Structure 1
């Protein structure tokens, strides 16, 4: 768990995972506004590298802000989850995610 906290607290990791599987496109502005988080890129990196999530990204707009989203057609039931977001699998199976 200590390693996960280097990147972000568990609530932010859970928030990122939940919102990506819900089909949202996330930016740092969104994370700051909704959960006062500052480590979106680190969480995204961990999900892509350590958990092999098919996350797409693109710089957009006049301010060149990076946007992140889950690749279309990804079935979240078959993703690997960080410990702090594992309960999302149960929520998906129960229809609560």
Structure 2
């Protein structure tokens, strides 16, 4: 993969974020650090929104205003486009997402 085509997170973190969002979870950077030792959740979500068209909601919580992300409820996940490292998630979806 060329340097310009690289994300700033490992493919494992991108896969984890996509899988967690698809499962309906709210995610924060603290969750990402704890579960996959990552710290680029905001960048991953931004890329999913801008490049892949994922309808991700952001909610800021607590005194520190920490961002929490989730896939908008009611999203037709069979219509989502997936980044290369998470394409295998689309295999099990009804209707065969891209």
Q: Same fold (TM over 0.5)?
A: yes
- The answer on 1:16 being equivalent to 2:17 is yes
Equivalent residue runs for 1:3-82 within 5 Å: 3=4, 5-82=6-83
Q: Distance in 1 between matches of 2:62 and 2:39?
A: 20
Instruction: Please tell me the root mean square deviation across aligned C-alpha atoms, in Å.
Output: 1.3
Partner of 2:89: 88
Provide runs of 4+ in structure 1 moved above 3 Å. 1-6
Which one scores higher on RCO, CA 8 angstroms, separation ≥ 6? 1
CA contact 1:4–1:10 (8 Å) conserved in 2? no
> Mind listing any 5+ residue stretches in structure 2 that lack a counterpart?
none
* Rounded Cα–Cα distance in structure 1 between residues aligned with 2:18 and 2:46: 12
Superposition TM-score, scaled by structure 1 size? 0.89
